[in-house]
Chains A and B, each alone.
Chain A
Amino acid sequence: MSSCRTAILSRIRQALNKRGTPTDIDEAFANLTQQVPSPVQPPLSAGTVEAFSRAAADNGAEMHRIETLEELPGWVATRAAELGQTPSVVVAPQFADTGLQWTAIETLDQVRQATDWGLAWGCAGIAETGTVVSVSRDCPSSSLFLVQRLIVVLDRADIVAYQEEVWDRLRQRFSGRIPRTVNLITGPSRTADVEQQIQIGAHGPKWTDYVIVD
């Protein structure tokens, strides 16, 4: 429907009193966006990591800390025992190169059933809202949503204060094309569609554990 495109753009230009289209759209865009106003951000209630933990807990995530990544397989097994469960855990591909040994739990490459757990390694945490960030180049987006309990591991150094710092990191890491999906996740899934009563566990995970690696 190229005629629609022409008609819509022509009406827009007419309304904005503009003549014609710039020949180089990238240049035109760059000129319009070169001045970046300083962002208006909510002040943090504490230091970055502490503020992250508080906000995440406020939003329903369960917070944990471990000293080193090597503790992770043991931590997952202990967590399952604490909860009296023997889950299969979908482990994100990022962990393949870590050499971690998952002897005490059954691991999967992809989600098999609704009771599976998921283990992902977030590329950033945002203190402002207690949010973890994952990208589809690191971890399949679907496994963040199809599991019953989602565990997201975060390197303490990857926790930043505000969203804008994550956007800068994404620009630096993916200078060409950014990943198909960037997921910002803040606690377990929820709905208030029945009489405005908040019910945790809609279509996504019912529980979320965030594990900070010091």
Chain B
Amino acid sequence: MSSVQPYVPNKDFIYRAADALADSHLQQALAKAGRGFVDKRSAAVTRVPNFEAMRDRARAVRQKALQDLDIYLLHFEKKVTEAGGQVHWAETPAQMREIVLQLCARHSATRVTKGKSMVGEEVYLNEALEKAGITPFETDLGEYILQLAKEPPSHIVAPALHKTRAQIQDLFLHHHALGERDLSAVEAIVDEARQVIRDRFLRADIGITGANLLIAETGTVAIATNEGNGDLTATLPRAHIVTTTIDRVVPTWEDASAILRVLARSATGQQTTTYTSFFTGARGDTDKDGPEAFHVVLLDNRRSQLLGSEYQEMLHCIRCGACMNHCPVYQAVGGHTYDSVYPGPMGAVLTPLLRHRDGDYQLPNASTFCGRCESVCPVKIPLPDLMRKLRNREQQEARFKGAGYWITKVFCALAASPRLYRALTSIGTKLAAALGARRGRFSKLPLLGGWTAHRDFPAPQGGSFQSQWRRNGKAQPPVGACPAGD
């Protein structure tokens, strides 16, 4: 059995994408995931006649929350404090790590259980805990598999989507000293994880979870899960730490309902997740159980800079993953190719805005602009439009202008001069028609190698569109040229 090598991504998206396409395990896993999420979501939204109205309401809640974010955050903080908890504020990932480590020291923690938290991934919390001598035990099955594999998640809802059953089976056999056993069935794998992780729940000093929503009304943290690990992480240890961000807040419980109604339907095609749990403060005198201490760490990490900007709508995101499930690019190359905790279309917008790392601006270019992401987004984020804005920003900010920049520049100049544009396209079309007249297509063309490597390029059959339009377009409306609905 081979030992596990840490995952080290290539710095360039193009190379990562090529590696992903050549990775047979990944392609096998992506094929198995296939249309699963898409079909389940479709069935769930058609079961309710008013899903569009639910989307509008959820969007309105997100807009309202951001409109007075300062008031809602302060009210949330006040209520958490009144309920015996404490709110901590972190501007950067480093500050969030420092706060969590200080809390672990304060509670003399050496063993920490963790529920799934994308914010924890965003700030590399596990690495910081391990460095401080604290063992973080991931408890979500997907995250646990990836902790064994030493890999980051590739999907925000199904972190181990890129792993095949055979790979998971190998990881369990390698890491759990439980002797000879048959792990070929999914049930056997899940049962073994249940058995191994149960003891960790019972012995943990601190539980760290993320949050789906923060309810300002009562200072409540809401978590939606299916496995039950989030609840055991939040309830059994002496202290519960929530790692979350400033944009998760909603005003009231009714507003939380509006979000929850679209969240599970969009994410997994469920009416609701198996567990939706609301945690308010520490265990009170009359509570039958719960932690003695409750901490919420609120991370900004450039989110406040998006507020009031042309990218504000990205803060509406409720992290359902529908955009990546429906994205043809994500479906082809998987989540690791994005080299970010946030993959797919939402990640292609969020990553360059939050991380600002070299190469992050490649991500908004990883889109065909087919628009499926926007059409399924439960809070109607205009993802293609935001990606278009980022592409533009990339061009404006680029220190070295590449070929793409100059080609676009030339095209803009031409398009702004109709006479010159017509003259040049007419010459080009005639030339291409003459050169390709014999075969009717090109198998190779300069600058279009990416296209012609997989398919032939058809040779023009007549004059340019504009010349044909001048000749007969006005006289003959294109009836039947493009049937409705195609």
What residues make up the interface of A, taking CB atoms closer than 8 Å to B? 1-2, 4-5, 7-9, 11-18, 21-22, 25-26, 28-29, 32-33, 36-37, 39-43, 55, 58-59, 93, 114, 128-131, 136-146, 162-164, 167, 170, 177-197, 199, 201-205
Contact = CB atoms under 8 A, between A and B. Distances in A.
Interface of B: 29, 32-33, 36-37, 47-50, 53-54, 56-57, 60, 67-75, 78, 82-83, 88-91, 95, 99, 139-142, 145, 158-161, 163-165, 168, 186-187, 189-191, 193-195, 197-198, 201, 216-218, 220, 226-229, 231-232, 234-236, 246, 251-254, 257-258, 260-261, 268, 270-284, 286-290, 294, 298, 300, 304-305, 307-309
Given A4-B90, A29-B251, A179-B284, 4 more contacts: A12-B70, A39-B254, A181-B280, A203-B232
A36 B280 CA distance: 23
Given A189-B275, A193-B158, A196-B36, A140 B186 contact: no
B39 to A, nearest CB: 11
A193 B160 contact: yes
Contact of B190 (A18, A184, A194): A194
Contacts of A25: 71, 74-75, 78
A163 B251 contact: no
8 cross-chain pairs, A with B, having the tightest CB-CB distances, nearest first: A204-B228, A15-B308, A202-B227, A193-B142, A15-B307, A140-B289, A180-B290, A140-B288
Given A193-B158, A199-B186, A202-B141, A142 B235 contact: yes
A40 B234 CA distance: 30
Given A16-B68, A29-B71, A193-B140, A184 B275 contact: yes
Given A4-B91, A163-B260, A196-B33, A177 B254 contact: no
A142 B236 contact: yes
Contacts of A1: 88-90, 95, 99
Contact of B271 (A4, A129, A138): A129
B227 A204 contact: yes
Contacts of B88: 1
Contact of A40 (B68, B165, B190, B258): B258
Contacts, number: 281
Given A167-B253, A202-B229, A42 B50 contact: yes
A55 B271 contact: yes
B240 to A, nearest CB: 9
Contacts of B163: 194
9 contacts: A1-B99, A16-B69, A18-B70, A26-B75, A142-B236, A181-B231, A186-B271, A186-B275, A190-B227
A201 B190 contact: yes
Given A40-B53, A204-B275, A196 B71 contact: no
A33 B272 CA distance: 25
Given A33-B217, A55-B271, A145-B235, A177 B281 contact: yes
Contacts of B54: 40, 42
A48 to B, nearest CB: 16
Nearest to B87: A5
Contacts of B47: 42
A145 B288 contact: no
B304 A202 contact: no
B68 A189 contact: no
Contacts of A93: 288
Contact of A167 (B82, B226, B254): B254
Nearest to B28: A195
A146 B199 CA distance: 11
A24 B309 CA distance: 28
B273 to A, nearest CB: 7
A22 B298 CA distance: 21
A169 to B, nearest CB: 11
Contacts of B75: 25-26, 28-29
A179 B194 CA distance: 28
B288 A139 contact: yes
B307 A16 contact: yes
A195 B69 contact: no
B287 to A, nearest CB: 4
Contacts of A179: 280, 284, 287
B276 A137 contact: no
A137 B91 contact: no
B78 to A, nearest CB: 6
Contacts of A32: 68, 71-72, 251
A185 B228 CA distance: 10
Contacts of B300: 4, 8, 11
Contact of B277 (A170, A177, A182): A182
Nearest to B90: A4
A8 B49 CA distance: 41
B71 A22 contact: yes
B275 A141 contact: no
Contacts of A4: 89-91, 95, 300
Nearest to B51: A42
Contacts of B271: 42, 55, 58-59, 128-130, 186
Contacts of A41: 261
A195 B29 contact: yes
A128 B71 CA distance: 32
Given A40-B258, A140-B289, A12 B190 contact: no
Nearest to A30: B75
Contacts of B164: 195
A134 to B, nearest CB: 10
Given A55-B271, A129-B271, A180 B279 contact: yes
B44 to A, nearest CB: 10
A148 to B, nearest CB: 10
Nearest to B271: A129
Nearest to B140: A193
Contacts of B74: 9, 21, 25
A141 B274 contact: no
A129 B254 CA distance: 16
B32 A196 contact: yes
A13 B139 contact: no
A131 B160 CA distance: 28
A173 B97 CA distance: 38
Contacts of A26: 75, 78
Contacts of A7: 91
B276 to A, nearest CB: 4
